[in-house]
Amino acid sequence: MRQLQVIPSMRNEKKTRPFFSKPYYYSGPQIFTRPGSDIQHADDLKDKEIAVSKGSSYADIAKEHSGQEPKYYDSDVVALEALANGKHDAVVTDFATGAEAMKKKLKNHSAGKTRTK
């Protein structure tokens, strides 16, 4: 039986160990809006209603940039569907998650990356 090591992220101090492969997937927080939105950057989220999935690590980013508690949904897909239906101003989620949802014909738009510390 073969074993596979899976890690969601790699800290800098572990990069020197020889048993880690080179990263092959890069992603991070992305802002998704409806087409025609005036939101283009994280700074544009101030006082906007932002949605995230429950338990998302992006909730703090949404709160930091909007200045208010985000609206929580059971999943990123449900949040993106609500966005497409006009329920809030933006969703902050992983780029790959949002891009996959857009492939499924949700009328959302990738507005820009958020800055992380």
Domain 44-117 listed as CATH 3.40.50.2300: no
The residue type of 4 is L
- Enter the pTM of the model: 0.71
- Average pLDDT for the chain: 81
* 59-89: pLDDT as tens digits: 999 999 999 999 999 999 899 999 989 999 9
Share of the chain above pLDDT 70, in %: 68
Predicted local confidence at residue 101, as pLDDT: 80
Query: Which pLDDT score, from 0 to 100, does residue 65 have?
Result: 94
pLDDT digits (tens, 9 = 90+) for 2-50: 665 555 555 665 556 566 677 766 778 899 998 889 999 999 999 999 9
Give the other-Cβ count within 10 Å of 15's Cβ: 10
pLDDT value of residue 72: 98
**8 A C-beta contact, residue 40 and residue 111:** yes
DSSP-assigned states of every residue in the chain? -------S---GGGTTSTTPPPP-----EEEEE-TT-S--SGGGGTT--EEEETT-TTHHHHHHHHSSPPEEESSHHHHHHHHHTTSSSEEEEEHHHHHHHHHTT---EEEEEPP--
Domain spans in the chain, listed from the N-terminal domain onward = 44-117
